[in-house]
């Protein structure tokens, strides 16, 4: 029993990766599932899809490795955060689709709560802002809008959870209703200073506290996955939200270390140690990880659209068939054109927090085509990352100069995108040998708890760089480009 199974349940697919005792990938499997868009700005998932693709990819990965459940010491789970589910305590049947983190249906409610003066209290407790992004207002929407849901919740018949909690419930056949501190910290309901659910916020949102899961360390016993799933009971020993799992997988264990993950969205986390830093730049204060009962905090900047802008080129505009086509297209772009894309398809995240914004493109000419669109799409991710890092430098006064950025996620495989990122930041960008850092983080948490993997120090020593990108443009050009981006954002927010 020297293998670790990592479940990586994401926004557009579920993946399972089997790691050996040396933390090397043995086999993996992935299953996509459909996105549901009931109205403009609404995004949902069918909970049955989340479960079936998770279970199916796990079985496939184990089979591809030629292993059985008896070979697996523990399971680690990482997941799309903030996505909200409510299900029946007895049957496990969801009362509504999962409301995805990208969903903006509670924007009016958040605005009302702000106007009533509640944001200061909520931010002080949770480190978050009143934004539809987080789970709390999504949960309130389900209770208020699904027939009978509130009455059933008040009777103790319904449970709430983020995706990790739902998967744990399904894996353990309803024996365990739990989450970890990092996922709890993203719900808008968790006091990150006390490490407990906030009765005050639950009362504000009219949420029965009996619905909420038990909160555990990231490395802890979450019960056993039932034997009929994988032929043998397997303990679930590690859980972390996807961005925190990537922070762990990048071994960002020291204050001042910084990582950025490029998946559907982009999320940059800066380790700030054992004390939460209150942001003056509308960044989020959150829990990076909790191990041995000790919380480590982070500043986080969230970009809603990163890899999703490439998906839009593929599925919306249909100018590419595969994501990898964007790099050669961008290389063909006319250097005389300066097209800027602000991909605010579901609003602008940090540091702007404008859920009402929508995307815009500037600088089009008669000759603008697929190559210019591909270039602008990739550049938009670099520009948005710089927005986050500039805000972090305002908040994190202990930082000396520009920190080295560790990157991961699908888009980090693009040399072109990573070189532009280094250029626009004016700082080095390090890409690790293991790009599956989110799954690796979940695997290490579980493996460390199970006694298969080394401790934090040993794991940090194993981190290895694959390539470093250094800035290749001058400061004048960097500031000119970034100034044009800032102007485009201002124009987008005024539309």
Instruction: Summarize the confidence of residues 42-57 as an average pLDDT.
Output: 96
pLDDT at 493 over 80: yes
| Percentage above 90 pLDDT, the chain | 76
The lowest-confidence range among 170-184, 199-213, 409-423 is 409-423
In the CATH hierarchy, which fold is given to the domain comprising 3-243? Nucleotidyltransferase; domain 5 (3.30.420)
Average pLDDT, the chain: 92
Q: Is 461 annotated as a binding residue?
A: no
Q: Is 285 annotated as a binding residue?
A: no
Please tell me the predicted confidence (pLDDT) of residue 37: 93
The lowest-confidence range among 21-30, 283-292, 374-383, 384-393 is 384-393
Q: Is 133 annotated as a binding residue?
A: yes
Going by pLDDT thresholds of 50, 70 and 90, the confidence category of residue 127 is very high
- The answer to whether the beta carbons of residues 455 and 35 sit under 8 Å apart is no
Going by pLDDT thresholds of 50, 70 and 90, the confidence category of residue 52 is very high
Instruction: Summarize the confidence of residues 28-32 as an average pLDDT.
Output: 94
- Looking at per-residue confidence, does 327 or 171 come out higher? 171
Instruction: Summarize the confidence of residues 255-273 as an average pLDDT.
Output: 88
Going by pLDDT thresholds of 50, 70 and 90, the confidence category of residue 382 is very high
pLDDT at 402 over 80: no
Q: Is 81 annotated as a binding residue?
A: yes
- The answer to whether the beta carbons of residues 44 and 206 sit under 8 Å apart is no
DSSP character string of 419-471: HHHHHHHTS-EEEES---HHHHHHHHHHHHHHTSS--HHHHHHH--EEEEE--
Instruction: State which of 100-104, 135-139, 331-335 shows the largest mean pLDDT.
Output: 135-139
Q: Is 162 annotated as a binding residue?
A: no
- Looking at per-residue confidence, does 389 or 204 come out higher? 204
Please state whether beta strands 405-408 and 340-342 pair in parallel, antiparallel, or not at all (unpaired).
unpaired
Q: Is 307 annotated as a binding residue?
A: yes
- Global confidence as pTM: 0.86
Please tell me the predicted confidence (pLDDT) of residue 401: 58
Q: Is 483 annotated as a binding residue?
A: no
Q: Is 410 annotated as a binding residue?
A: yes
Listed as own residue / partner, the contacts of 89-93 with beta carbons closer than 8 Å and 24 or more positions apart are 89/156, 89/157, 89/158, 89/159, 89/174, 90/157, 92/169, 92/170, 92/174
pLDDT at 123 over 90: yes
Please tell me the predicted confidence (pLDDT) of residue 400: 53
Tokens of 60: 């496939």
Same fold: 3-243 with 251-432+464-494 = yes
Tokens of 357: 């914004």
Q: What are the tens digits of pLDDT across the range 141-151?
A: 999 999 999 99
Q: Is 379 annotated as a binding residue?
A: no
Please tell me the predicted confidence (pLDDT) of residue 170: 96
437-450 and 242-249 are packed helices; what angle lies between their axes, rounded to 10 degrees? 80
Going by pLDDT thresholds of 50, 70 and 90, the confidence category of residue 398 is low
CA 69 to CA 74: how far, in whole Å? 10
Going by pLDDT thresholds of 50, 70 and 90, the confidence category of residue 282 is confident
Instruction: Summarize the confidence of residues 233-237 as an average pLDDT.
Output: 96
For domain 251-432+464-494, say whether CATH 3.30.420.40 is its number.
Answer: yes
Q: Is 462 annotated as a binding residue?
A: no
Listed as own residue / partner, the contacts of 450-455 with beta carbons closer than 8 Å and 24 or more positions apart are 450/4, 450/73, 450/74, 450/235, 450/237, 451/73, 452/1, 452/2, 452/4, 452/21, 452/73, 452/74, 453/4, 453/21, 453/23
Instruction: Summarize the confidence of residues 477-485 as an average pLDDT.
Output: 95
Q: Is 311 annotated as a binding residue?
A: yes
Please tell me the predicted confidence (pLDDT) of residue 248: 95
Q: Is 82 annotated as a binding residue?
A: yes
Please tell me the predicted confidence (pLDDT) of residue 351: 85
Please tell me the predicted confidence (pLDDT) of residue 391: 85
Going by pLDDT thresholds of 50, 70 and 90, the confidence category of residue 399 is low
Instruction: Summarize the confidence of residues 374-384 as an average pLDDT.
Output: 93
């Amino acid at each position: 029993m020297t293998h670790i199974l990592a479940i990586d349940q994401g926004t557009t697919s579920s993946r399972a990766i089997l790691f050996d005792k040396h933390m090397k990938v043995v086999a993996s499997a992935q299953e996509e599932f459909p996105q549901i868009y009931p109205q403009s700005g609404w995004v949902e998932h069918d909970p049955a899809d989340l479960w079936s693709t998770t279970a199916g990819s796990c079985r496939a990965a184990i089979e591809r490795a030629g292993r059985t459940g008896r070979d697996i010491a523990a399971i680690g789970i990482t997941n799309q955060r903030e996505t909200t589910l409510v299900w029946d305590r007895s049957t496990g049947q969801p009362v509504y689709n999962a409301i995805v983190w990208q969903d903006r249906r509670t924007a009016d409610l958040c605005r009302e709560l702000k106007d009533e003066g509640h944001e200061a209290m909520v931010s002080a407790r949770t480190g978050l802002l009143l934004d539809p992004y987080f789970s709390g207002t999504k949960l309130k929407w389900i209770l208020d809008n699904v027939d009978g849901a509130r009455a059933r919740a008040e009777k103790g018949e319904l449970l709430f959870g983020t995706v990790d909690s739902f998967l744990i419930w399904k894996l353990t056949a309803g024996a365990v209703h739990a989450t970890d501190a990092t996922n709890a910290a993203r719900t808008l309901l968790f006091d990150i200073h006390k490490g407990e659910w906030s009765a005050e916020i639950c009362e504000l949102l009219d949420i029965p506290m009996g619905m909420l899961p038990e909160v555990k360390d990231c490395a802890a016993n979450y019960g056993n996955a039932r034997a009929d799933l994988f032929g043998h009971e397997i303990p679930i020993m590690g859980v972390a939200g996807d961005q925190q799992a990537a922070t762990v997988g990048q071994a960002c264990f020291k204050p001042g270390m910084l990582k950025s993950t490029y998946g559907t969205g982009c999320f940059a986390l800066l380790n700030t140690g054992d004390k939460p830093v209150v942001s003056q730049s509308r960044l989020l204060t959150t829990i990076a990880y909790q191990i041995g009962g000790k919380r480590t905090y982070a500043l986080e900047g969230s970009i809603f659209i990163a890899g999703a802008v490439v998906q839009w080129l593929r599925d919306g505009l249909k100018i590419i068939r595969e994501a990898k086509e964007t790099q050669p297209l961008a290389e063909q772009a006319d250097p005389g054109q300066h097209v800027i894309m602000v991909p605010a398809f579901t609003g602008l995240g940090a540091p702007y927090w404008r859920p009402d914004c929508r995307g815009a493109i500037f600088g089009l000419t008669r000759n603008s085509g697929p190559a210019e669109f591909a270039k602008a799409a990739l550049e938009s991710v670099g520009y948005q990352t710089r927005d986050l890092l500039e805000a972090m430098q305002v908040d994190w006064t202990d930082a000396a100069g520009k920190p080295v950025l560790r990157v991961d996620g699908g888009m980090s495989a693009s040399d072109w995108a990573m070189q532009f990122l280094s250029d626009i930041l004016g700082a080095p960008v390090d890409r690790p040998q293991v790009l599956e850092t989110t799954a690796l983080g979940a695997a290490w948490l579980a493996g460390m708890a199970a006694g298969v993997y080394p401790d934090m120090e040993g794991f940090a020593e194993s981190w290895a760089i694959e390539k470093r990108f250094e800035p290749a443009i001058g400061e004048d050009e960097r500031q000119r480009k970034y100034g044009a981006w800032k102007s485009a954002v201002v124009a987008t927010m005024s539309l």
